[in-house]
Amino acid sequence: MSKIVNLKATARGRGGKGASRAVRREGRVPAVVYGDKKEPQLVSLAYNEIQPHVQSGRFLSTLIDLEIEGATVRAIPRDVQFEPVRDFITHVDFLRLGKNARIAVDVPVHFKNQETCPGIKKGGVLNIVSHEIGLYCPADFIPDDIVIDLANLEIGKSIHIGDVQLPANVTPVSRDRDLTIATITAPGGVQEGETAAAEGAVPAEVPATAQKAPAATPAAAAGGKDAKAAPAAAGKEAAAKGGEKKK
């Protein structure tokens, strides 16, 4: 289960851009806590305390216990806004979690037994379609990750969300049980079976017409003395025509 992070928050009385800018000048991050059929509450948190959790990459699936003026509120981050140029945290939205609440979170996917995967050992490549899975979980139980075993995956085979063994009381957000999480693809995009077919292929026979030599000239086809005499006869004929023109 994901660990619970404790953060101290201070209530703030005013909202709006001007009030938020004043909070940021004090080195704090303006935030709001809403949900559980209660009024939204404006708070602020110390920038240096919340920044490491935001940078962890799992902030939006982390349970937070906010200590606000002596009271503890269980919440989960739902949105983080950044200043576009400096990537500075400018605002955080927290969803207040009631008792027995269920929430939708994105849980990271990890893979094991890649070194023994038969498809990878044959040259296949692990193509990860989804690095995270959307899951409905009890608010007090969010899996750290979902581990998928590749021990029996061959080239051309895929793992769908319906194949994944999920913890108790955890269900996929997607209703499509055929939603692909990962697949083992053949190297270079070659489909399964194509490589073997290509290796066993026999070059096609050259058509008989393409094997014939170029047709010989009539003189050459005659062969022997006639072939040698043809150029001489052609020369005499040309000389005779030249003499007629001079007359």
Q: DSSP code of 58?
A: -
Q: Is the pLDDT of residue 226 over 50?
A: no
Q: How does the average pLDDT of the chain come out, rounded?
A: 80
CATH 2.40.240.10 range(s) for the chain read 4-98
The overall pTM is greater than 0.85: no
Distance (Å) of CA 25 to CA 17, 52, 84, 174, 221: 12, 19, 17, 42, 102
pLDDT reported for residue 91: 96
CATH 2.170.120.20 range(s) for the chain read 103-197
Q: Is the pLDDT of residue 86 over 90?
A: no
**Most confidently modeled of 105-109, 192-196, 208-212?**
105-109
Contact (Cβ atoms closer than 8 angstroms) between residue 60 and residue 78: yes
**Most confidently modeled of 82-86, 111-115, 138-142?**
111-115
Q: Is the pLDDT of residue 211 over 90?
A: no
Q: What is the CATH architecture assignment of 4-98?
A: Beta Barrel (2.40)
Please name every residue paired with 29 in a beta bridge, in sequence order, or none if there are none. 45
The answer regarding whether domain 103-197 maps to CATH 3.30.56.10 reads no
